[in-house]
Amino acid sequence: MMKNVPLYLAGEFVQSQASEWIDVTDPATNEVIAKAPCTTDAEMRKAIDSASEMFKTWKEVPVSERARVMLRYQALLKEHHDEIAEILSQETGKTFEDAKGDVWRGIEVVEHAANVASLMMGETVENVAREVDTHSWTQPLGVCAGITPFNFPAMIPLWMFPMAIACGNTFILKPSEQDPLTPMRLAELFEEAGAPKGVLQVVHGGKEQVDVLLTDPAIRAVSFVGSVPVGRYIYETGTRNMKRVQSFAGAKNHMVILPDADKQQVINALVGASVGAAGQRCMAISVAVFVGEAQQWIPELKEAMAKVRPGAWNDSGASYGPIISAKAKDRVESLIATGEAQGANLLLDGRGCTVDGLPDGNWVGPTLFSGVTTEMDIYKEEIFGPVLSCMETDSLGEAIELINKSPYGNGVSIFTNSGGCARRFQHEIDVGQVGVNIPIPVPMPFFSFTGWKGSFYGDQHAYGKQAVRFYTETKTVTSRWFSKEATATSEANFSIQLR
């Protein structure tokens, strides 16, 4: 049943007074299942003012109480795990198992946020000078905002607002207009967990609403995950308006295969990491680099990928779901055609894919190219579809050189049984997240998500200790307490030196 997606303003779920609405479609059928509002200027103002006012009291709440909100929240998320995953599946097309993974990786970050007291500890040094002590405090910034993408509507919002709010900030979330139902359920459960009204706001819309978040002086920090051109715009606009920004942009992730690797593990990893979630992951493997004799495994890889099929979210036999929209599907198919026209060998063609009973879905079958070169568009562009490009090099050194020339540095992996080769690779590669015999090396929340180069604009990354630094300021206090004896013998000091 189609419904209008509400806003979450000042602790109330309310219907927007918007005159413009965005269709939310089921990508398996292209039927409209909801409408998201383009939040009005007055409603955006209310969200920002409410968050600003609430910050005055929320920042004074003891850190242990903020942590207990996160403890209750993670318990509720676990209790409603499958329910959230089903909502997520229906609006993104993800298979149910993949959707459950999306939810769970977000829950892990909330668990980490519950440890916020130890993460916010400052530092102390006694006697930095005679009878002078210095200590530091970690204090919240103020109102923060997050702009999240369609491909992980549970995980990425949970990367952002729990960490920011646990640190003592208030937060405005602008989820993707393509799948806002999952984030709204996350907000409902957050309120149920006992979060005070106004700590979290949820607004909807497009560029106009994003620009408000990027330019309003009340907002101190902005987090974004999405594509390259938008990511750069977010970073440049936000920083130009004196905001702290972390902007996760595009990727082109490689997997290097050495001849000594376990062949079956390689094939399994390549199939799952390239077409899983229809390739709509910023950490998906889109380029396989076969070194030396390993390139002889490509025919077996083709055979394995040919057995994979997409399907509906509740089809237990489906390996992945549809592309998010008809427009995105057209782009993927256009890039496949371009790859073929530019001379790559199209071993598997996913265009024209159909799924029984769902003729109007955005289906793209598994697609495999070999003979790909760095000049081709299918190598240079992030396809964001179930497309894998195979390349060949004669040595590990050539593979490292190839990858290091890429403008992106989100994720990379190597499959080998040689500890020496693995160590050389992880040391020399210019990529932020490296997997050794692991195709998608997304770190656990007590580390941080650390893309490099053109995959990230900013200084501090998402979740982990870096998120705490991103959402806080450090205040240092240097103090001296005088005794009567010291006061009686003191003299004027005309130097800046402490003594």
Tokens 């630094």, residue located:
469
- Using a 10 angstrom Cβ sphere, with 0-12 exposed, 13-18 middle and 19 or more buried, the burial of residue 217 is exposed
Is residue 176 within 8 Å of 147, Cβ to Cβ? no
Please count the helices (runs of H) and the strands (runs of E) in the chain: 17, 23
Q: For the beta carbon of residue 180, count every other beta carbon within 10 angstroms.
A: 28
Q: Which of 167, 282, 353, 390 is catalytic?
A: 282
- CA distances 326 to 27, 282, 362, Å, are 8, 20, 6
Is residue 283 within 8 Å of 320, Cβ to Cβ? no
What is the H or E stretch that residue 424 is in? helix 419-428
End-to-end CA distance of the chain: 73
Q: What single-letter DSSP state applies at residue 174?
A: E
Angstrom distance (rounded) from CA 119 to CA 74 = 18
Helix axis angle for 181-192 and 155-166, nearest 10°, is 30
Q: Per-residue DSSP letters for 271-340?
A: HHHHHGGGG--TT-EEEEEEEGGGGGGHHHHHHHHHT--B--TT-TT-SB---S-HHHHHHHHHHHHHHH
Query: 390 an active-site residue?
Result: no
Angstrom distance (rounded) from CA 379 to CA 343 = 12
Considering only CA atoms, which of 138, 129, 122, 140 is closest in space to residue 478?
129
- CA distances 361 to 29, 291, 313, 424, Å, are 5, 38, 12, 45
- CA distances 86 to 31, 178, 186, 193, 238, Å, are 17, 16, 13, 21, 35
Is residue 181 within 8 Å of 24, Cβ to Cβ? yes
What positions carry a catalytic annotation? Answer: 282
